[in-house]
Structure 1
Amino acid sequence: MRHRLLAAAVLSALALPASAADAPDKGSALHCGNLFDSRAGKLVGAHTLVVRDGKIAEVLAGRVEAPANATAIDLSGHTCMAGWTDLHVHLDGESNPQSYSEGFRLDDVDFAFRSVGYAEKTLLAGFTSVRDLGGTVTLHLRDAINQGLIKGPRIWAAGTAIATTGGHADPTNGYNTQLSHLLGPPGPTEGVVNSIDDARRAVRQRYKDGSDVIKITATGGVLSYAKSGDAPQFTVEEVKAIVDTAKDYGYRVAAHAHGEEGMYRAVAGGVTSIEHGTYMSERVMKLMKEKGTWYVPTITAGRFVADKAKIDGYFPDVVRPKAARIGAQIQDTAGRAYRNGVKIAFGTDMGVGPHGQNAKEFVYMVEAGMPAAYALQAATIRAAEVLGVDDQGVVEAGKRADIIAMPGDPLADIGNTMKVDFVMKDGVVYREPAR
């Protein structure tokens, strides 16, 4: 607890200098060479976007003269669209060969300092919102960003994920017997449950902690210090207890899942989304379509861990075969899910891979067989649906002024998503093209 308070103090100390957000808002007019309509999934030509008080005030066809005193921003060679949302990140860390020892050597304050840079990289890459699915300091990071103390995306934070004993999010995995006996078995407060009552208590603890969303680890995981990456780790009744309790607090539930049986139980239990979904079967896809469950593939993470598994010493021996076997399959699963009509939204699991490179997921989604427009919708309007919000994900009057732009046409070349050079969040410009 002391470390968490210190982490909060660190984030609060990193105050931003005075910016446009502190001055009277005279508004701005963005002259876009093209505009992606995420609701229709198509480009609709040149538009002028008038922004005031953090909201989109007008969306005008063509190049229209800026209102008096408004700041004109020339994006005539660019495609504009709603800011992107990455539904699966971990802003408090980034994979490296020392990751498994850092939890013993570093304090939450160290992770807090790192998270500041990761958050800014993510925002500047065009991701104005993220869903952070498990981290030690991201609840405080969220608050610091909301207070205007540091730069970063809008965060929906899960805080501590919910697991079973030995499950993917059990914080004591890999501890030796002496240390395990010293600390004692973790319980619902630490996010480890073994009964329906435990499941309810864990959700209520997340409410007490200030979480925005609930994450469960419905199966084993790739990077956890445990042998199985796909074994089921909750009963259907436990999942239902989590989902029902989450609804009491207005929460949605995201389920990490690689294995088929655990995935099926999570969908049957009513989760909002399946994350990763490596061994998704026809049976699971059918149930997901029946229940309206979303799929967040995180192809980027799969590609990253499969690549790093080839390097001696990057992962512990217990992790390396899982990374090689499971990581390589996610992209193929995503393609099959798309062809089968499963609803897909955008997520990367960044923190596994390098923050700021989130847009690689667009490229991998298109490689998997999804149209470029579908991939862009997955990170805009579809992501907003997963979050349960209606004030972002589209460029329309009255919505949040989360607007990004990139040179070229991302529908013709999805690689252009890696070239974002204009970022506006809540009407504040954080990045502009070089003049």
Structure 2
Amino acid sequence: MTATPLELFGVETLLDDETKDIAQTVRRFGQDHLRPQVAEWFEAGQIPARELAKQLGDLGVLGMHLSGYGCTGATATAYGMACLELEAVDSGLRSLVSVQGSLAMFAIWRFGSEEQKQEWLPRMAAGEAIGCFGLTEPDFGSDPAGMRTRARRVGQDWVLDGTKMWITNGSVADVAVVWAQTDEGVRGFVVPTTTPGFSAPLIKGKLSLRASVTSELVLEGVRLPAEAMLPEAQGLSGPLACLNEARFGIVFGAVGAARDCLQTAIDYAGSRAIFGRPLAGFQLTQAKLADMTLELGKAALLALQLGRLKDTHQLRPAQVSLGKLNNVREAISIARECRTILGAAGITGEYPIMRHANNLESVLTYEGTSEVHQLVIGREVTGLAAFR
């Protein structure tokens, strides 16, 4: 009798029945509808984003941790487990869900007017409208305070000019939440992508997150009515709160990618004969598998602890940094080690390991680089900020 790595840690015993059901439903959806095609999407560098958004909306995972406006109001832990199962298929697919629900939808849900919520959230929850989140700029990623995108008042309207970069869902979005400097500080704006002056050129040539739409946003004299501004967000605390929501999903998602790599390596090692017996029967192979099982299990337990804290409204941003830094770093390490077990087969598209490893290189640096999260943790334990 054998146990899966997470069974050794009794992870499922920490989940309530509803969360288990959600995780199993998302896993079945991934197995039936995503996994058979994801390698092809990755190789082609494109996905059927609108079709996927509708399917994911029907599944109920878009903005699932929000309440009202067509959202299911699931727990944070259940949302995390959904992210885990999606990223077990591909990080790009989890990114579609994270950006839709934890960035674009959350920004409108948390900081928007009632009119903005009514207009966009039900359609976004159903996957009938796709959203993106415009914060990062070509020269300002880790230092968003330096953004150059500007919103100025012209009569009763706002006019936006600037450029955003590395925007997931941008080229297929119906609405963009765009952050800009104003005379009142940083403010957020709900921008329908059909607005004159708005364009979203697709970024091509990626070697990572290829099963994901990544774009530039260009705003040239984009004129918006006064009510397009998010009324409850002023300053950087607004966009940073949204990023914290998205990072939480990554904490769980990285565990899914690592689990998929490790299970692939275990299955391969059990069936691959070398020197007359299974590769899994050699001590060095088992040492690798044991060490990776430990790190995967610890990452899963950390994610679940952060989920519990979030569900009881005790989670602090620095704790999300702990989870993101550890779990993505360990997931990359697991992916690389698993590749060695598969040997040359590990670099082919027949197996998911190299695809996961490539994707995780992006996950490591988006929603805050590892270096930024190290400094966040350092500030917490020393009381001294060392960002500048």
**Could you tell me the TM-score, scaled by structure 2's length?**
0.24
Greater strand proportion:
1
More helix per residue:
2
Task: Provide the TM-score with structure 1 as the length reference.
Answer: 0.22
